[in-house]
Amino acid sequence: MNLEKITLKVCEIAKETAVFIKNEVSKIKSEDIEVKGLHNFVTYVDYTSQEKLIAELSKLLPEAGYIVEEETTKLTSDNLNWIIDPLDGTTNFIHGVPCFSISIALMEKQKIIAGVVYEINLDECFYAWEGGKAFLNEKEIHVSSRKTLNESLLATGFPYYDYKYMRKYIDLFEYFMQYTSGVRRLGSAAVDLAYVACGRFEGFYEYSLNAWDVAAGAFIVQQAGGKVCDFKGGDDYIFGKEMIATNAFVFEEMKEVVGKFFK
């Protein structure tokens, strides 16, 4: 299996699908918005984007299954699975806020072997494959070289329905406000991770995440020289619903801080 060739083709598929998404920004109406759960929205754009991605990815690897946000297919495989978020940042999209993306990862057994995050508004395609480097629009990228949290810019997200850790989360947010260069909330975890990979952010943390939010981005961070773990410092960050991702230098410091608040 030629992972480089597959990954580059996935980039093309993401870009083709993004044309449809971008064309729909000005067309979306309130009656087009469905509520999946508390503050959790979906539109025909999410569904159609997913259908387009699955149709093209099926041609690329017919044997692969799918783990997807919009549950239009239940087909999974024991070996290869695509993990897809057809529109990461739906709330941004609905409101016309220009930060949303397509996230696609390829998982073999339980290991991610390729990832693509395409930020639609800036035409930025982040991608990596196992055994290779990480790239942004054909240029190799690396995590930043800042060495302390004090000089770091972090990214996070806010849970929209799972509030059971909210007090701890706010306390941690307050700490990072005081002891870092700042905290940003863009509204797309996939983009947050891509920005860690290319050095725009030094770290990212969030809970109440899903595999399709983070699988591709986390892999790209690692291929760009960064480190990823769950809040306990372990490896359950794809399906474990919580994640820390950083450059190589602030990893231990950030892991220790998050661990203090999420014992």
Longest dimension (CA), the chain: 50
Q: How far apart are CA 69 and CA 214, in angstroms?
A: 12
Residue 254 pLDDT greater than 70, yes or no: yes
- 221, 197 contact by CB (below 8 A): yes
- 83, 102 contact by CB (below 8 A): no
Q: What is the pLDDT of residues 90-117, one digit of tens each?
A: 999 989 999 999 999 999 999 999 999 9
- Domains located in the chain, CATH noted: 3-140 (3.30.540.10), 149-261 (3.40.190.80)
Using alpha carbons, list the distances in angstroms from residue 28 to 52, 55, 144: 18, 23, 37
> Is the pTM here over 0.95, yes or no?
no
Residue 70 pLDDT greater than 70, yes or no: no
Residue 30 pLDDT greater than 70, yes or no: no
Rg of the chain over all Cα atoms, to the nearest angstrom: 17
Percent of the chain exceeding pLDDT 70 equals 92
Q: Facing residues of 228 across strands?
A: 245
Residue 38 pLDDT greater than 50, yes or no: no
Using alpha carbons, list the distances in angstroms from residue 70 to 36, 85, 105, 228, 248: 10, 8, 15, 26, 34
Q: Write the DSSP string, 182-236.
A: EEE--S-HHHHHHHHHTTS-SEEEEES--HHHHHHHHHHHHHTT-EEE-TTSSS-
- 244, 219 contact by CB (below 8 A): no
Order of strands across the sheet that contains 153-156: 182-184, 153-156, 203-207, 242-246, 227-229
Q: How confident is the model at residue 28 (pLDDT cuts 50, 70, 90)?
A: low
Q: What is the pLDDT of residues 51-65, one digit of tens each?
A: 999 999 999 999 999
CB burial string 14-26: b at 16+ within 10 A, e below: beebbeebbebee
The Cα angle at residue 48 between residues 112 and 213, in degrees rounded to 5: 30
Q: What is the pLDDT of residues 200-246, one digit of tens each?
A: 999 999 999 999 999 999 999 999 999 999 999 999 999 999 999 99
- 205, 149 contact by CB (below 8 A): no
